[in-house]
Structure 1
Amino acid sequence: MVASCAGFVLLGALQALYGPAIPAFREEFGLGPSAAGLGLSAHFVGGVAGVLLFDRAFGRIGNRRILGASYLLMAVGAAGFALAPSWPVALVMALLAGLGFGGVDYGLNQLFAVGFGHRSTAMLNILNAHFGIGAILGPALIGLVGAGHYPAVFLVFALANLPLLLCLRGVSDEVPPSAEEEPRGQVLGRSLGSVLAVFIALYVLHVGIEAGVGGWEPTHLQTVGYGAGLAATATSAYWLMMTVGRFLVAPLALRFTPQTIITVSCAGMTVCLLLAAIPGPAPYAYAGVGLFIAPIFPTGLPWLNRSAPRARRAGAVVIAASMAGGVVAGPALGKAIEWSGVRTVPLLLGAVSALCLTATLWLVRATRATRSR
């Protein structure tokens, strides 16, 4: 468990390292802004592929080998990115690191979702909270040593993966009983197919909000009159509250159902985004968004596993969709802002959050009907 949490710290750090290192990429390889941004895009593409690829191997070659191979891919990819002689090679290495990233992300989330019984929701929130710790520490490390020394940071990250290979003995190689009992080739019925589709929509939309606030909060706050320093601090507070929120919800998950937690989270997120449209409370409202959005990703997985047949495959699709949502959210929100202006950012995101709440309420009713049948 400790090694898994350390692995999630590394996941958060890896994803967050690319952004602060972009100035150094551009200078070293002579890149424009869009070309430099391809590093993170390659990472996400590799992440989606890693989730789907290792889902196919799940139960065939053993969970321990899947996680071990994923850690090695992350290490090799990060080291290759640090030492790449050209930008095309660096992109291939970022893709390779993303492949391992997806395998670890999917593998640990799935094992925690099925491995702790009624405590799975609490444990998943604790696990994913460590992702936030890494996402905070990664940029801080780049800021400490300077963007020009990013190769050394990526090499340190690569080496940090290796000790985790020694901590995989506690991982069972057996397929979880719930997956074994399901007949192979079973096709989702119409109602459960709809449930899976709405789960995917919920994950894509909430990840879009997460990425949208992280990307546009500083610009929005400066547009309504705040200074650049305060806007940056408020954005850091947003990410910090996401991490704190997952730790806080862990004990609550032992008393309340995932349905209740996600419903309250979506409602609170919507209210906070509407408040963020008012300049005065906006920085505090964005911090509230971070607090409320925090439990949705880890809390939804146990709910999905209990509601849909072939839950393991459904979990892989949902995690992959959430990564794809992070890629699509930026351009889609940017186009909407071009039409309506920066001041409408919280209202646009609030509308998306209202869709998340609607999807959640539909899922509460649909999964209750499924259980009664």
Structure 2
Amino acid sequence: MNHALEGARQTMTDRQILGMTFVIMLAMGVLSAALGPALDDLAEQTGSSLDMLGAIFTASFGGTMLAQASGGPLNDRFGQRPVMLAGVVLGAVGALGIVLSQTLWLTLASAVIFGMGFGALDVSSNVLIAEVFAARSVPILNLLHVFFGVGSVIGPGIASVTISLWDTALPSLWVGMAVILLPLFGILRLKAGPVRAKGELAPVDVFSYRAPLLWALGVLMMLYVAIEAGLGAWTKTYADRSTSLSEEAAALLTSGFWFALTIGRVAGAVWGGRFQAFTVLGASLVGMLAGAVVLLVGHGNIALTVLAVLIIGVWAGPPFPTAIAIATRLFRSGPGKATGMVVSLASLGAAIFPWLQGVVLEQGGTGAYAVFIGGLTLAMVVLYAEIRRRMAKVPA
């Protein structure tokens, strides 16, 4: 597929760009999802308690949020290549620091650096694909995020194997570091300058940081990522403490969550070509709420806990890429800024809520944790209903 592009002319075809971003998302998924199963090892390595080490998520997503907020405008002005190059370097260096650190403060500092790399790659990859495939952004962005899910399955899977073999999950982070360096050659083939879709979608509105829809989408994604990142981080611990699952099986359940999320994004790629973006988004949020109800009702039951995690995972697939597609469609004059705004607010949720979930799990127990997850999903559905009520006339 050939698209007319404004600005810098890249030396890569659309398929090559898509393949490069697939690898980037794969690496990001491996590193992010492997972090949860490695928490016990990192706590022992740094001499920290598990709830104190939970601040690693706050540090990581704090760095992500900073990079996303600044990376959006930088993408609009300078293009994707320099931002993506910085993302690869920062991501690899930060992950290396996390693995080698012997102190909590250095681990947290490395997590900030890792988060900055993650944020730069995240916003740049999404903007690049949303622009190159502007007319089909909902299904293609969902397909792109399938590879994040694939990496998120691989990471805990590797961790489960290495826990069984060597009683440590840290080798899974080394694998992620190797994968994140693979796209460097492709990124270097992108010429400097922003990629813009030409004449495919007319703007609904000029970009403004004060736009109510932009803030509403950002807050909605803040709650969404709170659940996605929180379950990815704490499913192993929750299942291990609330059921009779072994540590290895609980780690595999984390992998199962990310696998289910990946299946959901495959479904989102199909649904995105058949239904309006807001329809896909709303159905997914209701599905997540249903899974949270099963988690609460099935507390302590192995079968229902596994079922609930998988239900939430499947329906958690489409919301994030679909929201990005909505943002880039509505704000054609500033797709990078719009994407940066939405994903940075999402990262604010990821910086706060996984840490808070760890505190709830440690101080309130597994029952309180299940209630907390239910409250977050209910809040998302209520916010979505309010968005649709107020902005029903805005096409998506």
Q: TM-score category by the smaller chain? A: 0.7 to 0.9
Q: CA deviation at 1:302?
A: 1.1
**Deviations for 1:12-45, whole angstroms, at most 9, x for unmatched residues?**
1122333333343344443333443344433222
Q: Which residue of 1 aligns with 2:70?
A: 53
Matches within 5 A, 1:90-239: 90-145=107-162, 146=166, 150=170, 154-168=173-187, 171=190, 173-177=192-196, 187=208, 193-214=211-232, 226-229=243-246, 234-239=253-258
Q: 1:144 to 1:270 in 2, by over 3 A?
A: closer
Q: 1:162 to 1:63 in 2, by over 3 A?
A: same
Q: 1:82 to 1:291 in 2, by over 3 A?
A: closer
Give the Cα separation in 1 of the matches to 2:373 and 2:184.
Answer: 40
Amino acid at match of 1:139: P
Q: Which residue of 1 aligns with 2:260?
A: 241
Q: Which residue of 2 aligns with 1:305?
A: 328
RMSD across aligned positions (CA) = 3.4
**Deviation larger for 20-29 or 266-275:** 20-29
2:297 to 265, 278, 295: 278
TM-score (structure 2 length as normaliser): 0.78
Asked if structure 2 preserves the Cα contact closer than 8 Å seen for 1:59 and 1:173, the reply is no
Asked if structure 2 preserves the Cα contact closer than 8 Å seen for 1:23 and 1:147, the reply is no
Determine if the alignment matches structure 1 residue 291 to structure 2 residue 314.
yes
**Deviations for 1:242-277, whole angstroms, at most 9, x for unmatched residues?**
111111221221111111101111122222322333
Q: 1:41 to 1:157 in 2, by over 3 A?
A: same
Relative contact order: is structure 1 or structure 2 higher (C-alpha 8 Å, sep ≥ 6)? 2
**Deviation larger for 331-340 or 141-150:** 331-340
**Deviations for 1:45-83, whole angstroms, at most 9, x for unmatched residues?**
221122123224223333112112211222233334445
Q: 1:276 to 1:116 in 2, by over 3 A?
A: same
**Deviation larger for 11-20 or 166-175:** 166-175
Q: Which residue of 1 aligns with 2:54?
A: 37
Q: 1:18 to 1:300 in 2, by over 3 A?
A: same
Amino acid at match of 2:374: G
In structure 2, stretches of 5+ residues that fail to align are 1-17
Q: 1:34 to 1:231 in 2, by over 3 A?
A: closer
**Deviations for 1:180-212, whole angstroms, at most 9, x for unmatched residues?**
999xx96456xxx22122112211112223244
Q: Which residue of 1 aligns with 2:340?
A: 316
**Deviations for 1:309-333, whole angstroms, at most 9, x for unmatched residues?**
6443122121011112122223545
Q: Which residue of 2 aligns with 1:265?
A: 284
SS in structure 2 at match of 1:60: helix
Q: Which residue of 1 aligns with 2:384?
A: 360
| Same amino acid, percent of matched pairs | 24
Amino acid at match of 2:224: H
The count of corresponding residues between Structure 1 and Structure 2 is: 365
Amino acid at match of 2:136: R
Amino acid at match of 1:198: A
Give the Cα separation in 1 of the matches to 2:213 and 2:152.
Answer: 31
In structure 1, stretches of 5+ residues that fail to align are none
Q: Which residue of 2 aligns with 1:328?
A: 352
Q: CA deviation at 1:102?
A: 0.8
